[in-house]
A and B are shown apart, each in its own frame.
Chain A
Amino acid sequence: MRYRDFTIQDFVADEYFRKWVYQPTPEAETFWQNWLQENPSKRKEVDEARALLQQIQFRNFQASQEDFKEVWQKIESEEMPAATRPVYKLRPQPGNWRTYAFKGAVAASLLIGMIWFAFALLQSPSDSEVYFTAFNETKTVILPDHSQVSLNANSRLTFDENWEVDKPREVWLEGEAFFDIEELYKSSMPFEKVKFIVHTGNLDVEVLGTTFNVNSRRGKTQVVLNTGKVAIKANSEETGNITMEPGDLVELSENSKSFDKKLVNPEDYNAWMQKKLVFKRSPLANVAEQFQDYYGIPMQFKSDNISQQQVTGSIPTESIEMFLQVLAKSMQLHITQENDTVWIENQKQEDNP
């Protein structure tokens, strides 16, 4: 078919034509302008086809460089047999079971099958998904209801693969995470919202739809609320419940019988998502704690009085070297690293001529 017989559809379906619209070259420009001069009756079709191509745009889902590298690394490790499974887990595929079955005797596989069935009955529907981060790594997790959880380093988030309709949405957290929870209405009662619950070692955070940060380490849980409203329920009845407003920080320690509550700037507590830690008159001991939580490297003080010095400011976490340099400079400290421990002492006169 010749161009002069083309309809709009033929034009948009023609690769050469599309190339002229999307990636015009001088050659293509000359060709089509000449062609249009020779075939003026076709100008309408050409203009309309051009307009269609130019105006129709799709949503672009841009994968990040991290995604690109992460998937490639998994491909490389998966090619080896018995490789690590992907973090995002599905139930065993039929193929796997078949291989297992063929390997064992029929009786054995029957037995296994029965045990598995009994196990599945007892366990159902709790097929849980586990996401975890290494030191110096953060990760974003999308929950089945599309809520987003950012996991800080050295943390673990667990939840059921299947969320029952209208039942509370539950997750279990060890470590630190920032939650951005979508409101969800019950399908049976359209005006009632479905609860979202974060379980930590010593308390539950109950919300309907909010953003908040939870840090649960060493038996202590700290919750900072950015937006919305949450209720905190301690595991121990004696401690009871407390509600939070935006800007509130609530803390419950292992041996404490009551909540500590104060007003803070909530952004300071989720600054880790922007790869920095923000301190406001925090003792160095607290900096050391957060440093160890993030990098997995202990920080020790050569004399006790240093640990009580107060730090104010933000420190980037992208590299350990940078973190320590910023800390040393701003606090005039002498920092050394030996035997996988970071040692801190006051800068001596001779170090700073």
Chain B
Amino acid sequence: MDLEFLYKHPSQRENSDGKEGKTASAMSEKFSEKEIWMNFKNGSREAFAFMYESHFFQLFNYGRQFCTNKELVKDCIQELFVELWNKRKNLGETDAIKFYLFKSLKRKIIRKLSQHPNLSAHSQALDKNIFEIVLPIENELIAEQDEQERKQKIRNAVNKLSAQQREVIFLMFYENLSYDQIAELLSVKTKTVRNLLGKAIQSLKNKLLFILFFLLFTLF
């Protein structure tokens, strides 16, 4: 069963992988992404396990943003890592491991969904649910009658964004990817990503900001 929480920014999330987390952070302090990748290519199980430990939860969350089938997402992550290990000698260099993993996982899930139309019908998230934006938890707490209307306005505004615009926001705000990396993930030009974000901000700003400000000031 998936526990669905409001998405906290990665920095605010508790480290959910306990012991593994410690070895993971020790490793990331000692080595750069490029060195970890090189070690992994040279057959280091430690580096391989580190890559898994430090990215599994993010990869799972990312996949589930557009695929409702939890088992399918898990299978794709599994396949991805099995392939990584088996093909490690032939892989190129990278200093952006997370981006590399995100890209491969997305391709895998989309390929699997398109190869199996029946599966796709059940597992492909509805357009409005892809990278769905939810209201901040603080807003949910303000349950006063007149807040309902504001909440509805926010909902309407964020729902006007396209799935692609929401994906850009997700990848940039929460996963810290760059314009170029997002462009590659979405198979569009960097300029298009800038435009997508620009339009998203414009529409959010016009419809939302005064509401958001009101909320902010009532909160603090």
Q: Which residues of A contact B (CB under 8 A)?
A: 8-9, 12-13, 15, 18, 22-23, 47-48, 51-65, 67-68, 70-72, 74-75, 78-79, 86-88, 90-91, 140, 142, 144-146, 148, 161-163
Q: Check if B131 is an interface residue, CB within 8 A of chain A.
A: yes
Give min CB distance, A352 to chain B, whole Å: 41
Knowing A12-B172, A90-B116 touch, does A58 contact B122 (C-beta < 8 A)? no
Nearest A-chain residue to B216, judged by Cβ? A51
Q: Check if B9 is an interface residue, CB within 8 A of chain A.
A: yes
Judged by DSSP, the binding face of B is helix
Determine which of B3, B11, B74 lies in contact with A23 in the assembled complex, contact meaning CB atoms within 8 Å.
B11
Knowing A142-B70, A142-B71 touch, does A74 contact B2 (C-beta < 8 A)? no
Chain A neighbourhood of B173, CB < 8 A: 12, 18, 53, 56
Q: Check if B109 is an interface residue, CB within 8 A of chain A.
A: no
Q: Is the CB of B12 within 8 A of A22?
A: yes
Determine which of A58, A65, A148 lies in contact with B174 in the assembled complex, contact meaning CB atoms within 8 Å.
A58
Q: Which residues of B contact A (CB under 8 A)?
A: 1-9, 11-12, 16-17, 49, 52, 56-57, 60-61, 64-65, 68-72, 74-75, 77-78, 81-82, 85-86, 112, 116, 118-119, 122, 131-137, 154, 158, 166, 169-170, 172-174, 176, 179, 194, 197-198, 201, 204-205, 208-209, 212-213, 215-216
Q: Is the CB of B134 within 8 A of A59?
A: yes
Complex: how many Å from CA A8 to CA B209? 12
Complex: how many Å from CA A60 to CA B194? 25
Q: Is the CB of B201 within 8 A of A12?
A: yes
Chain A neighbourhood of B118, CB < 8 A: 144, 161-163
Determine which of A12, A61, A72, A78 lies in contact with B64 in the assembled complex, contact meaning CB atoms within 8 Å.
A61
Judged by DSSP, the binding face of A is mixed
Chain B neighbourhood of A9, CB < 8 A: 194, 197-198, 201
Chain A neighbourhood of B70, CB < 8 A: 61, 67, 142
Chain A neighbourhood of B65, CB < 8 A: 58-59, 61
Complex: how many Å from CA A57 to CA B13? 13
Nearest A-chain residue to B74, judged by Cβ? A71
Complex: how many Å from CA A68 to CA B58? 11
Knowing A63-B57, A75-B78 touch, does A52 contact B7 (C-beta < 8 A)? no
Complex: how many Å from CA A79 to CA B43? 13
Nearest B-chain residue to A8, judged by Cβ? B201
Give min CB distance, B153 to chain A, whole Å: 12
Q: Is the CB of A15 within 8 A of B176?
A: yes
Determine which of B75, B82, B136, B213 lies in contact with A79 in the assembled complex, contact meaning CB atoms within 8 Å.
B82
Determine which of A22, A72, A88, A161 lies in contact with B11 in the assembled complex, contact meaning CB atoms within 8 Å.
A22
Q: Is the CB of B61 within 8 A of A13?
A: no
